[in-house]
Chains A and B, each alone.
Chain A
Amino acid sequence: MRGVRVALAVLAVLGLAVSGFAAKKICLYFDQTGPGDLSFNDMALLGAQRAAQDFGLELHYTTASSPLEFLSDLSSLAETGEYVLIVGVGFLLFDALPEAARLYPQQKFAFVDGPNFDLPNMIGLLFKEQEGGALAGVVAALVALAYGDPAIGAVAGMEIPPVWRYEAGYRFGAYWAVDWYRKNVGPAPDLRVLVTYVGRFDDPAGGKVAAEALIRAGARNILGIAGGTHLGAFDAVEEAGRAAGRTYGPPFAYGADAAQEYIKPGFILGSARKRVDTAVYEAVKWALSGEPGFNLVLGIAEEGTGFSTEEDIRTFVELAAKAGYPLAGTPEEVINAILGARKSVPEYVWKALAEFEGLLRAGAIQLPAADTAEQIAEVRARYP
C-alpha cells in the first residue's frame, strides 16, 4: 500500500514536471466554514487532493465569506478560465451553482450534495444517505433496547434534503431493528425517534444544548447529522458518560460522512459513512473525460455509503494523526478504545447490522424517499 502511494507521488511529481506551468487546475468552493469540520468539507478536500495527485492537477480552494457572495464568487472563479472544474461543496449552493453554470456554459461545475439540474456542464453528486442513516438507526435502536432506553435521538443541521434523507433512513432503521429484536431476542417496547434541528451547520454550542436535552429525554444514542454543529453533541455525550463514571457509553454518539469515532474514542460507536471524497474524485474524472453532465448517485452498492468498518476507523485515525489532530492517546490506544466500545455492546447488535446490510445490498429493502418537505413529513408521521 505504501509502495503504491510513493509510486503515485513520484508519478504526480513527474507529471507536474512534464506539464510544467501549464498544469491544469481544479478549484473547490465551500459554502460554509471550509476545511476543518472533520467531516463533510474535509472529505471533499481529501478526494480533491487524491484526484489532484493522481491526475497531476493543481488544487485551489476558497470559502464563501457569506451566502451574500455565492453568485459573485462563483462567477469570479469561472471568469479566471483557469479551472477544468469548479466543485461547489455544500447544499446551500442550491440556487447559485446552477445559475453560475447557466451563465458560464464553457465552465464545468460539480455540485456535492445537489443535482445537476439537467445542465450539460454540471455533474450532480448525490448520495443515498438513507442507507448510512438506516444502518446507524439499526445499531442505535438495538443498543437503546439493550440498555432499556425509551428513545433514540439525532442532532440535525438544517432542513435540507441530504439531512432529511439521513433522518428518514435513521427512523426506518430504528423501526426495522425493533421488529428484529422482537423476532430474535425477546419482547421490546416501542422506541421513539427524537430529532432536533439546530438550524445551522456551524454551531457546536447549539449542538451541545440539543444533545443534552435529548439525553435528558432518555435518548442516549444520538446520531449527528449537522456537520460542525454535531461536534458539540459529541462533547455532550462524552461529558454525560464521564459524569456517570464510564469509559465507554452509553450514552453513545454516531458520526456522519467521515468515520468520526476518533473524536471521542469509546463514546462514538459508529458513523454513517458518505464517501464525499469518492464523489469528488469521480467528478474530476468526469471533467477530464469531456462527457456531458449527469447525476452520479452513490450508494452502498458503489461503496459510497455505509456504516464505518474497522478499516475506515483505522484510516481516519491515521489521517487525524497526520493532520495534527490532538488525539486522546496514541493512534493504537485510540483504535483500541473505539473497538473496545464496539465489543461492550451485545454481540447480536452486530449480527443484526450485518443482516440488514446484506438485505440492503441484495435490494431486498426499500428505504423511504425524503427529497421534499412533503416526503419527510410522511416519513416522520409513519416512524415517529
Chain B
Amino acid sequence: MRAILESLLALALGVLVGAAVMAAWGRDPWGAYAALFTGALGNVRALASTLSRSLPLVLTGLTFAVGARAGLFNIGAQGQMLLGAVVALSCGLLSLPPGWHLLVALALSALAGALWALPVALLKLTRGVSEVISTIMLNWVAHWLTLYLVVQKLSDRVVGQRTFTVPMGMRFPVLQGELTWSWTVSVGMALFLFWFLWYHRQGYEVRAAGLNPRAARAAGISVSRAMVLALLLGGVSAAWAGAIQVLGRFPYAITSDLANLGNLGFDGIAVALIGRNHPLGILGGAFFFGVLATGAARMGLRGIPLEMIQIVQGVIVVAMAAPEALRLLRRLRARQREVVPA
C-alpha cells in the first residue's frame, strides 16, 4: 500500500516537472499529455500496440529483478536479449513443422540466454569478479556478435536493411493488431517467478541470500547456488524478451542496426525499478513504459520536438524509479561495509 502511494507521488512529481519543462519552452503541457494518452490508449488498436511494446520489457525487467532479489546487480539483460533474438531468428533456417518450430526456437533461445549468463556466475563464484563488470563486458561481446550474424549471415538478399523474416510456422499467432500470443510468455514468466520467489523453497532461498547472505548461510542456505539460479533464470527471461520481439512482433525480423531490438535490455532495469523488483509490479512498470513510448508520436504532432519528448519521458521514468533505486543503493552500500566471502 505504501509502495503504491509512493509510486503515485513520484509519478505526480515526474509529470509536473515534465510539464514545467514543456511550459518553459512555450508548449502546452496538458494538451501534450492528453495526446500521449490518446496515442497510447485511445482505441483498441492503440492499446494492442502499447501492450505489444511492453511485453519484452516485462521479461528484461524480470531479469534485473530476480538478480536484485538475490543481492546481485545484473545488467546483462541487453546482451542476453540480443543473443536470444538472433538464436530464435536463426531457427528459421531449420525446417520443422509449424508450432513445433516456435517451441524449438524458444527452447534454443532460452538455452543461449542461460549459457550467456553462466560465465557471469562462474567468474563471480570462482574469481570474485563483480557481476556488474562481467555483464557490461559480455553485453558488448553479444552486441558485436549479433551484429556480425545479422549483417553478414542472416541479412535479406534483396532489401539488406534487415534479416530474412521469420517463417509463418515459427511466429506467434496474432491476437489483435500488433499484439500476438507472445503475451503468454511474458505474463507466464512473471507469474512463474512470483510463485517461485514467494511460494517455493529455492525461491525463498534466493530472497534470503539477497536480504542477508550471512544469516542465510548460517541457516544452511547455499548462497552460491541461489546466485547461480538467479543469474540463469535471468538469462532465460532476457533471451525470451529478444525471442518474442522477433517471433511475435512486426516486422518479424532484426534490422541491420539492431534498432528494432533497441535498448530493451537496459530499459528493463528502469522497468524493474518502477515495479519495485516485484514480478507483478513489473507487469505494471512495463505497461507504463509502453504507454510513454507509444504515445510519443502524438506528442510530436503537438509541436513538441523529439528531444523534449525524451526529456519528459526521462524525467517521469527517473522519478518513478527513484524510490526503489535509492533503496537498492542503500542496501548495496550496507553490504559493502560487511564484505561477504563468496
Contact = CB atoms under 8 A, between A and B. Distances in A.
Nearest to B304: A62
Given A64-B297, A71-B49, A76-B46, A99 B250 contact: yes
A160 B161 contact: yes
Contacts of B155: 159, 373
Interface string A149-164: 0000000001111001
A77 B250 contact: no
B251 interface: yes
B157 A373 contact: yes
B176 interface: no
B160 A73 contact: no
Contacts of B49: 71-72, 75-76
B157 A372 contact: yes
A79 B43 contact: yes
Interface in A336-384: 372-374
Given A27-B301, A63-B300, A65-B297, A158 B257 contact: yes
Given A71-B49, A72-B46, A374 B255 contact: no
A325 interface: no
Interface in A85-144: 91-92, 94-96, 99
Interface in B209-266: 250-251, 253, 255-257, 259-260, 262
A96 B251 contact: yes
A195 B116 CA distance: 35
A92 B160 contact: no
A200 B257 contact: yes
Nearest to A64: B297
A168 B177 CA distance: 39
A379 B309 CA distance: 43
Contact of A72 (B158, B178, B300, B306): B178
A66 B261 CA distance: 10
A95 B296 CA distance: 20
Interface string A45-79: 00000000000000011111111110111011101
Nearest to B263: A66
B293 A65 contact: yes
Interface string B120-160: 00000000000000000000000000010001000111111
Interface string B296-317: 1111110001100110010000
A134 to B, nearest CB: 21
Interface in B173-232: 177-178
A71 B298 contact: no
B257 A76 contact: no
B300 to A, nearest CB: 3
How many A residues are at the interface, by size bracket? 35 or more
B250 A34 contact: no
A331 interface: no
Contact of A61 (B161, B162, B293, B300): B300
B294 A158 contact: no
Nearest to A71: B250
Contacts of A72: 46, 49-50, 52-53, 178, 294, 297
B18 to A, nearest CB: 15
A145 to B, nearest CB: 32
B45 A95 contact: no
Contacts of A77: 297, 301
A50 B155 CA distance: 39
Nearest to B298: A76
A159 B300 contact: no
Contacts of B52: 72
Given A67-B255, A71-B178, A72-B53, A79 B45 contact: yes
A199 interface: yes
A27 B300 CA distance: 11
Contact of A373 (B39, B158, B299, B301): B158
Contacts of B260: 67-68
Contact of B297 (A76, A95, A96, A99): A76
22 contacts: A60-B301, A62-B299, A62-B300, A62-B306, A65-B313, A66-B262, A67-B260, A72-B46, A72-B53, A75-B49, A76-B39, A77-B297, A77-B301, A92-B255, A99-B250, A159-B161, A160-B159, A161-B160, A199-B257, A373-B155, A373-B157, A374-B157
Closest 8 CB pairs of A and B: A62-B300, A72-B49, A73-B297, A95-B251, A67-B259, A63-B306, A65-B296, A160-B161
Interface of A: 27, 29, 34, 60-69, 71-73, 75-77, 79-80, 91-92, 94-96, 99, 158-161, 164, 199-200, 372-374
Given A72-B297, A79-B42, 20 more contacts: A34-B306, A61-B300, A62-B298, A63-B306, A65-B310, A66-B293, A68-B53, A69-B294, A71-B49, A72-B49, A72-B50, A75-B46, A76-B297, A79-B43, A92-B161, A99-B251, A158-B161, A161-B159, A199-B147, A373-B155
